[in-house]
Structure formats: structure tokens, C-alpha cells
Amino acid sequence: MSRAPRFVAAILAWRPTLFLARLALTSAYLLGGIVKLTDWQGAVAEQAHFGMTPPAFWAALTILVELIGPLLILTGRLVWLGAGMLGVFTLFAAFTANAFWTMAGQERFMATNAFFEHIGLIGGFIALAMLAQRQQADA
């Protein structure tokens, strides 16, 4: 196993790095929740667009997940729960919004990329939950 260069080790050891990484991983969800909260009709319309019924219920649930999940992760409290919430939500969204197997041409290409980007985010949430678990065990 090779060691990271000093500057990389310094960045990784810098106390704010983990918080900034958590913020980066959750920022789209946090922003999405705030935007939906401030544009309720738009949030409901989005759910209706994806065939979610009743759309108001799914809009409210989406807002709750997109706000509570990041807050749990950013505060370091129940990180496993916040990561799990966002991971399951992301998986559900990937299948709902990026069903590339039903598409053709450029639309299929773009949806395939978005689908696997969502899968990558889920991996990030799993890794974050594992890291939090290890930190708690070491404490």
C-alpha cells in the first residue's frame, strides 16, 4: 500500500475536510429541498410529471427527505440514517426519473449517465455511513 503525498495527507487530515465532503455530497439534496419548500406548486407538479400519486404526498415526503437527510449527515448525528434516507431516495429517483431502458437515442444516453451517477452517489452514502460507524467505534 503506497502512502499519499504529503499535501494530500494534509488535506485529508485537515479537520474541516470531512465536513466539506459531507456538504458537497448532500448539497444538491439540501438545495433541492429548499427550492421545493419555497415552490410548493412546482414540487407537486414535478411529482405529477413522474407519475407519483398523490403528488402532494410525494412532494412533502421528498422535501422532508431532502432536508432531514443532509441535516443528519452534516451534524454528524445518526449519519447512518441520513445516508440511508438519501441512498434509498436516490435509488428510487434513479429508477423513476432515469428509466433509460425505456428510451432511445440521445435521451437514452443522457438518462443512462444520470442513472449511473445516482448509483455513484449511493456508493458515496454507503462509504460515508461506514466511515461514521468506524469513527464511532474508535471513539
pLDDT category, 2, cuts 50, 70, 90? confident
Q: How far apart are CA 88 and CA 122, in angstroms?
A: 8
The answer to whether residue 111 sits within a structural domain is: yes
Q: What is the pTM of this model?
A: 0.92
The answer to whether residue 3 sits within a structural domain is: no
Percentage above 70 pLDDT, the chain: 99
The answer to whether residue 7 sits within a structural domain is: no
pLDDT category, 19, cuts 50, 70, 90? very high
Mean pLDDT value of segment 48-55: 96
pLDDT category, 108, cuts 50, 70, 90? very high
Neighbours of 19 (CB within 10 A): 13
- Our count of domains for the chain comes to 1
Pull the grid cell for residue 14: 485537515
| 139 has a pLDDT exceeding 80 | no
pLDDT of residue 49: 96
Burial class of residue 36 (count of CB atoms within 10 Å of its CB; 0-12, 13-18, 19+): buried
Domain residues for 78?
18-138
The answer to whether residue 5 sits within a structural domain is: no
Q: For the chain, what is the total number of helices (H) and then of strands (E)?
A: 6, 0
The answer to whether residue 4 sits within a structural domain is: no
